[in-house]
Structure 1
Amino acid sequence: MHALLLFLTLLFANTAQAQEWHYTVRPGDNLWDVSTRYLSAVDYWPKLQALNGVTNPEHLPPGTKLRIPVAWLKRLPAKALVLAVQGQVQALIASTNKRVAVDPGLFLHQGDILGTGPDSNVTLKFADGSRVLLQADSELRLAILNARGQTPFVETRSRLEKGRADSEVTPRTTGAGNRYEIWTPAAHSAVRGTRYRISMDPATATSRLEVLEGRVELQGGR
């Protein structure tokens, strides 16, 4: 039987407007410079020109708004900051495959695995300001941490292997480019809210979800 996945997803409406970022042209900008700074490939500039009806790509009037699809933006590594630690907390660092003691001020990266001992907990702050409190006897893998170029769009995805995690998610005001997810091996759930708790019990292969604010759509796997 395939493992069931539990996704805690905070997304907004999938509209054309929500999928775009609006860039305000600065003095001296041209389409090549904008593409180099923000887009995943400079070759996107002809598409950017066509999308915005730009007649002269070498000279853009300052103050002009350029529509840029979120999917075209660069993906850059983001970090998670350890805000507070109580008790014994360790992290398995993906880049070195070594375990380290976790202290406030430590930055964690994509692929790192965080583990708490008995009577211990740790609070993380992600790039968009969202926070997660990992409770005692828990394990959380930071699966995806990235930002879309120099924009407000951030993608945060974690996997809770066991224990409990309490999330306080920054409200999404910038559209569908933002994503915050926590999943477990137990079920599938989509959440629209800013505060929720999720727990995973490996012994019984069950997850529990409690939404403190917002709505939840829960669907069991097959």
Structure 2
Amino acid sequence: MTLQMPDALSKHLKTLAFLALAFMVPATTVAELSIARGSAVSGSQQRDNAPEWVYTLRQGDTVASITQTLLSQQTTQQRLLEHNGLASNAKLGAGDTLRIPVNWLKRQPEPARVIAVTGNVQQISGMDGRKLPLSEDSIVRVGDEILSGAGSATIELADGSELRISP
């Protein structure tokens, strides 16, 4: 017998997993995820196997300021706009979102480590979509998903804080 998770719960767990990983970006980055707006990994991540961060613009943000503050010098404003299918004269404001490939960031997020697992918990690789049982000492990277099902897991983030995921 296979139990299926309700779509709303599945989406919530995916968002939670991404948020946990996204917070591993060092705190010196001025960007923050807008939890209320539901920043998450976009669907295009699965198409091109490149993890993306969906950045929610705050009051005063511009494409220029985001490019200068968050992105490596090789990534231009125009490239960011093109990646998001936006014209160079696009008007963006607080609450709008931009998809940013993680490898474009100035500072790369550090992986997390699983410190405890109880019951049936699975990890889906953000790079190749493989689904494997989660085990202690597993590494969780940006773009990976954790499905808790009937189990739970405790994950240690790069800054030493711990995140417990349960049904």
TM-score (norm 2): 0.39
Max radius of gyration: which structure?
1
Q: Return the structure number with greater strand share.
A: 1
Q: TM-score, normalised by structure 1?
A: 0.31
Higher relative contact order (CA 8 A, sep 6+): 2
Structure 1 or 2: more helix by fraction: 2
